[in-house]
Copies of this chain bind each other. A is one copy, B any other.
Amino acid sequence: MLGEVQATAEELKEKLESVIAMTSFATMMGAKVLSISPGNVELAIDVKPAIMNQHHGFIHGAVLGFVADSACAWAAGSLAGDVVTAEYKLHFLAPAVGDRIVGRGRVIKASSRIVVAQADVYAVKNGSEKLVAIALGTLSKVDRK
């Protein structure tokens, strides 16, 4: 997704932001890159209850899923270039309440074709973080021909 392994953090961030700009779902969600380095990424979205809640009044799991999947994919992409998600598993650990969702992704293992990555997802309320979801996924490199 993001290009060469040797890219600097600044280059990685610029490339990722250009990918987000081309991703209408991410733009609609308001995804922002907080930091990125080879194998690690941190992103956030500001919660908009009018479009992001479920019926118990908590933040919808699909919002956490978006943050988790993006954190895995972008962490993988920071090492492996263009990737697609092959699969992920997502655990919901606690009801998500707050004004911000933060996701932190890291690469567990990068092989020649496949990257395994993990993400922690936090709900931030009044400046205090709570772990609300955890994900473990497989990303597959996209060939450039």
Contacts and interface: CB of A to CB of B under 8 A. Distances in A.
B23 A53 contact: yes
A29 to B, nearest CB: 8
Interface residues of A, number: 47
A41 interface: no
Query: Which applies to chain A's interface (DSSP): helix, strand, loop or mixed?
Result: mixed
A60 B116 contact: no
Given A89-B136, A116-B91, A22 B55 contact: yes
Interface string A17-37: 001101111111100000000
Nearest to A19: B55
A125 interface: no
A72 to B, nearest CB: 11
